[in-house]
Amino acid sequence: MPDQYAVIGNPVAHSKSPQIHAAFARQTGQDLMYGQLLAPAGAFAATASAFRAGGGRGLNVTLPFKLDAFGYATLLSERAHAARAVNTLKFNEGVIFGDNTDGAGLVYDLLHNLGCALTGRRILLLGAGGAARGVIEPLLQQRPAQFVLANRTSDKARRLAQDFRGAFEAGTYAALAGRQFDLVINATSASLAGALPPLPPGVYASGAMAYDMMYGKGETPFLAFSRRNGAALLADGLGMLVEQAAESFFIWRGLRPDTAPVLQRLRQTQDT
């Protein structure tokens, strides 16, 4: 029987992970099956354990279970530890290895797909929830000249910053007035409610990129705002999605798929 993997979440039917991993498996000739697991609220561990008991080799973890998966793992990577969230589980003998590939996926997308340098640049990260937490450490590792985190609730931003070894500024949107950045990354959930983070105008330096970790059909509200307010380059989170999947695939199978054709195909189906 092929090795079994799945994405676990609630809801999970919308997930593109099965399509992405099936493409990776075809491309690399790996004999595996990748499905979907809907876990009832409060039943993450029971659902994951049943999958594991049935011979499952690994899981991708999506909302709202990344914190549950963090608690479920018996061995954590350093980046999962820093993120306090797990999006990839690997089952090996008695060990449940938990990793977080979200930040690496974002950094890979920025550097290799979008040609956006990070070292020595001024980076602004919007939001202080789980999505932001997961990408801070890998971004700091790129040694930006400035790294600033802004959040609607400033206390939450400051508390989050205290959890990281690398020091960075964390504060309000109002404190950004008059400052400029080369890269602004939206890790808020504002667009789920059709809202925008209250970014002051003029925050984009000449040639700057706006990156929205969300994606969907058409331009996100954040990218539309950024286009009107001076961002020269725009990117949504579809590249990050494919790259974090490639990192997970590497953890499980020991080889890195070529992501370009998979990303291109997803874009085509998304735009139609």
Whole-angstrom Cα distance, residue 34 to residue 55?
A: 13
Residue pair 48/70 in contact by the 8 Å Cβ criterion? no
Output 57 or 99, the one with its CB closest to ligand ATR.
99
- Confirm or reject binding of residue 197 to ligand ATR (CB under 6 A): yes
Whole-angstrom Cα distance, residue 7 to residue 226?
A: 32
- Confirm or reject binding of residue 189 to ligand ATR (CB under 6 A): yes
Residue given tokens 């725009």 in the structure block: 234
- Confirm or reject binding of residue 156 to ligand ATR (CB under 6 A): yes
Cα 16 to Cα 23, 57, 96: the distances in Å are 11, 19, 24
CB-closest chain residue to ligand ATR: 129
Residue pair 186/210 in contact by the 8 Å Cβ criterion? yes
Region of 28-36, 42-50, 69-77, 149-157 interacting with ligand ATR (CB under 6 A): 149-157
Q: Which of 16, 66, 156, 217 is catalytic?
A: 66
- Confirm or reject binding of residue 161 to ligand ATR (CB under 6 A): no
Output 151 or 226, the one with its CB closest to ligand ATR.
151
114 CB-near residues (< 8 Å, 6+ apart)? 209, 211, 233, 235, 239
The H-or-E segment that residue 25 falls in is helix 17-28
Contact with ligand ATR (CB under 6 A) among 38, 95, 145, 195 = 195
66 flagged as catalytic: yes
Contact with ligand ATR (CB under 6 A) among 129, 202, 207, 216 = 129
Sites of contact with ligand ATR (CB under 6 A): 127-132, 151-153, 156, 188-190, 193, 195, 197
